[in-house]
Amino acid sequence: MLSREFTDVPVYRVPTIEVISTSGSFKLSHILRRCPDLPIRFYAGVGLDLKIIRHHGCRVVVSDCQFHALAAARMLDVPSVMITNVLRLPGDDPSSRLVNWFLRETLQLADLVIVPDVPDGESPPSDVDVVWVGPILRASPDELPGRESIRERLNLPKERPIVLITAGGSRYGGRIVRLAMEGIRRLEEDVYVIVVDDGVGSGALRGVSGLAFNYVDNLLELIRAADVVVTHGGHTTISECACLRTPVVSIPLPNHPEQQMNALRAEKRGLGVALQPQNLSPDRVAEAIRRAMGIRVPRIRLMDGKGAVRAARIIRETMSGSP
């Protein structure tokens, strides 16, 4: 994806470390089973990052939770910025404590932590410098066409409610799409459906009018055109809906604490409806879509889609202060 979007920028593939099961859970046994060579992969990642930083003369390292990239920056005394929407995962079981310990250690490696969200009463570790910048989107809402203009250009109905279903294309994402479609068939409202899923089949829209895509270049436009978005608990999609003020029905991955936290936060903020993955049914999804249609998403400070501008300014200042 990076190579396709940034053709003039060198892109490197680093050793992968799979710490999340297919159900979205964090389990030490899963990590050891899937990555028995974890230390080797980690040191290989550090070694590659050291070569990349030296070769390109990097003046700042920007990373998510890639521990080895931040470790390499610290070893070379290069300023580093970590971008994460999670400072601490909920839960006090052994797996959660392990993940939170690792997350804290990673946060402490960075010179600065940028959170692409809004403060929510969560206190960061006292020895970590944290700045909230709001969601980082591919484009600011001000740069997008208006809702009616998008509908007209894409030949979408102007009067009927539009439900956008996008779930990332994973195996669980496919289940969300199927449940959402079954729920929509139970609605009394005459809705128009747009499905974006790389596993979507030709029969996905059976009995329902709409469009189906395996991939779209600009999901933001479809979110703006929609009346409701049905998705998983991913932070990016929920944030995009919040900034464009489109109600969201969030169905997080089972056993995935971050996605469940994202979904519950969205509902608490008045952004939509959170459905827990246990006991899901088409009727529950249909009711959630009905509820979401009546939600007027509030304006929230920093939820303006300009987080990328704020983050870029901070990274530029960090780079300017480097040797």
Structure confidence at residue 241 (pLDDT): 96
Structure confidence at residue 256 (pLDDT): 79
Spans in the chain with pLDDT lower than 70: 16-36, 38, 122, 169-171, 200-203, 322-323
Structure confidence at residue 155 (pLDDT): 93
pLDDT tens digits, 89-107: 777 777 778 778 888 888 8
CATH of domain 2-134+306-320: 3.40.50
Structure confidence at residue 202 (pLDDT): 57
Structure confidence at residue 243 (pLDDT): 96
Structure confidence at residue 34 (pLDDT): 64
Strand order in the sheet with 162-166: 210-213, 192-196, 162-166, 228-231, 248-250, 272-274
Structure confidence at residue 27 (pLDDT): 57
- Give, rounded to a whole angstrom, the gap between the first and last alpha carbons of the chain: 32
Structure confidence at residue 29 (pLDDT): 62
Question: What average pLDDT does the structure give for the chain?
Answer: 87
Domain 141-293 fold is Rossmann fold (3.40.50)
Structure confidence at residue 65 (pLDDT): 76
Note the pTM of the prediction, 2 decimals. Answer: 0.87
Same fold for the pair 2-134+306-320 and 141-293: yes
Residue 155, token pair as written in the block: 């030949």
Structure confidence at residue 192 (pLDDT): 95
Domain spans in the chain, listed from the N-terminal domain onward: 2-134+306-320, 141-293
Structure confidence at residue 21 (pLDDT): 55
